[in-house]
Amino acid sequence: MGTWVGSLRQRALRPLRSPRLLAAADRVLLTRRNTAGPRDDGAHHVVLAPAGGGNIGDQALVEAFIENVAGRVTVICRRPTDYAQHDDPRVAILPLLSLVYGDLVGHVRDLGPFRRALRSATSFSVIGADVMDGGYGFRASTNRANLARRVAELGVDSRILGFSWNASPHPTASRAVRDAARHGVTTVLRDPRSAARARADGIAPIVDGSDIVFLAQSVDEHTADAWADRVSAPLALVNFSGLVPSDDGLEPYVQVVRTLRERHHGVLLIPHVSRPGADDLPICRAVAETFGDDPDVVLVDRLLAPAAIRGLTHRARVVVTGRMHLAVMSLMNGVPAVTVATQGKVEGLMDLFGTPGLCVSPDALASSLALVAGQTADAAEALSAQIGERLASVTESAGRNFAGLPQRDRTVAPG
């Protein structure tokens, strides 16, 4: 009975969740009259964060933004606990649960604090990542693009930063991003395949960029050393994604660890996302338990901060992962990262470094993941040299996300 009532309620509320209806509210309630304000107290960047909440990649994206802009930063997220509280006094967290994910009633309620934040804003940025093409829900993707468009229409620098674009975007999301670009929103694609797809879908103008995490600066060597020292060198970081279950159970994952151990690597099994419906920790723990007698296979039993992850990738010789941003934080340290390719975003990342062989299709886990992991370990030094040759170019393209914004000096910050 409860399930039926809940389903009926969802159907009844569906019209109130229409992105078109929410965009109409934006046009009425977000105007130059009630958003324009004094800007004599320095730069103020309003940034719309991805979902967060137990996702190291999302946390890394937000931190990379904060580290690279000069001035105050207001981070809009769903809940106060979705992001680790930042100790930078420039940063304020503004939780607005319904701005992107809610119905008309919640959206209108959240437009009040959003409007107040915009009064002193010099820029509004949507962290695009993999949430713009509708692959994880077209309504939220469309709402993000519509907000960016409306803010641009108000004369505020508005941009969608470093996002992927898959081969089959949702039509509604595609139309919204296309309209946003046409109305002055700077749209930065984060890999060449995504850029080609976006152009084919009529999105213009676009900027060819790369992921903003390539510009992340903080490193927590102390935490990284504490974990890395628990296993013998050379170090291999291994992550198995809760979003990519194997039809063959744990065996393909066990075989990856076995292959790396045969090559005398110490293995840290490291979760990258831990939240309901997308939890890496149970898979990583189950694999670790099969190597319970091997002291050189260790489970990292909690999510680490991005700065600690970057410290670990700096020490690693090879990485195997189901999560794109663990790959990004490995590649930025010149470390080859065998990556399970999901949502059409990983292939383009590897194109940036000329390393397509580091991609493994989810359909080929059993046949290819351990094989490619072993081949990558065998050729790690040569692959690292190749990655290093491309790294400056990729970092430069990541900087295009921030072109025209007041930027902080690029100095390494402590973790």
- What would the DSSP string read from start to end of 9-65? HHHHHGGGG-HHHHHHHHHHH--HHHH-----S--EEEEE----SSBHHHHHHHHHH
CATH no. for residue 338? 3.40.50.2000
Q: Which pLDDT does position 415 carry in this prediction? A: 46
Radius of gyration of the chain from its Cα atoms, rounded to whole angstroms = 22
Residue 196 within any structural domain of the chain: yes
Letter for the amino acid at 128?
A: G
Tokens describing residue 14: 């569906």
Q: Is residue 107 domain-resident?
A: yes
Alpha carbons within 13 A on the beta-carbon side of 409:
3
- For 88, list phi and psi in degrees, rounded to 5: -80, 120
Q: Assign residue 24 the CATH number of its domain.
A: 3.40.50
Q: Do 306 and 189 lie in a common domain? A: no
Domain identity same for 178 and 307: no
Is residue 199 included in any domain, yes or no? yes
Quick one: which H or E segment has residue 5?
helix 2-13
- Residues 270, 231: contact at Cβ < 8 Å? no
CA–CA distance, 328 with 62 (Å, rounded to integer): 15
Q: What is the pLDDT of residue 284?
A: 96
How many domains would you assign to the chain?
Answer: 2
400, part of any domain: no
- Show the low-confidence residues of the chain (pLDDT under 50): 5, 412-415
pLDDT at 276: 87
Residue 408 lies in a domain: no
- Considering the domain architecture, whether residues 296 and 358 belong to the same structural domain is answered as yes
Question: Is residue 232 located within the same domain as residue 201?
Answer: no
Are residues 92 and 38 located together in one domain of the fold? yes
The per-residue pLDDT for 354 is: 97
pLDDT in tens, 393-415: 999 999 999 999 999 986 544 44
Confidence (pLDDT) at 175:
98
Is residue 203 domain-shared with residue 248, that is, in the same domain?
no
> Are residue 203 and residue 230 in the same domain, yes or no?
no
Q: Does 226 share its domain with 165?
A: no
Q: Is residue 163 part of a domain?
A: yes
Q: What is residue 304's DSSP assignment?
A: P
Q: Are residues 94 and 152 in the same domain?
A: yes
pTM: 0.94
CB 384 within 8 A of CB 353: no
Q: Residues 86, 232: one domain?
A: no
- Looking at the fold, whether 185 and 117 belong to one and the same domain comes out as yes
Whether 182 and 246 map to the same domain: the answer is no
Tell me what pLDDT residue 14 has: 73
H helices of 69-185, in order, are 98-101, 104-118, 138-153, 171-182
Last residue of a domain, one of 157, 185, 209: 209
Residue 137 domain boundaries:
12-209
> Would you say residue 405 lies in a domain?
no
> Quick check: is 304 in a domain?
yes
